[in-house]
Amino acid sequence: MQNLITNRWYIGQTTTSFNTRYCGDFFNHKYNKLSEDRPKGKLLFEDIEKYGQESFEIIEVLDVAFSERELDEKEAYYIDLYKAYDEGYNTYRGNIFKHGKGKRDNKYGL
């Protein structure tokens, strides 16, 4: 997701469909309920209110991965590429290897 006014980015991953992950909640309440320990999430919500939803471009699929490890690696790569941690909305540099050994479905997407 890119703020077209500030050029700030948020990069996220999902193992479900895009609609399942964002499903309207993204703009309506997800970042409204973040605590003070997530200042970048709060900044994203404040920017959505300040600039309006129309000022954000959402790219549904930036890339795909075929394993959990590859998904985590690609998320970190794109966070770095788009400076989503240093200058954007990402709170972490990526969820490198956060996935356990449990199996998930094979719908990996970034």
> Per residue in 14-24, pLDDT tens?
887 777 666 55
Distance CA 97, CA 48 (A): 30
Average of per-residue pLDDT across 41-65: 87
Q: Return all residues near 53 (Cβ < 8 A) that are at least 6 apart.
A: 27
Rounded to two decimals, the pTM is: 0.74
pLDDT value at residue 24? 52
Q: 């956060």: which residue's tokens? A: 98
Phi (first) and psi of residue 71, to 5 degrees: -60, -45
Collapsing DSSP states into helix, strand and coil, what is residue 65? strand
User: Does 74 have pLDDT greater than 70?
Assistant: yes
Average of per-residue pLDDT across 15-43: 63
Collapsing DSSP states into helix, strand and coil, what is residue 85? coil
64 strand-pairing partners? 109
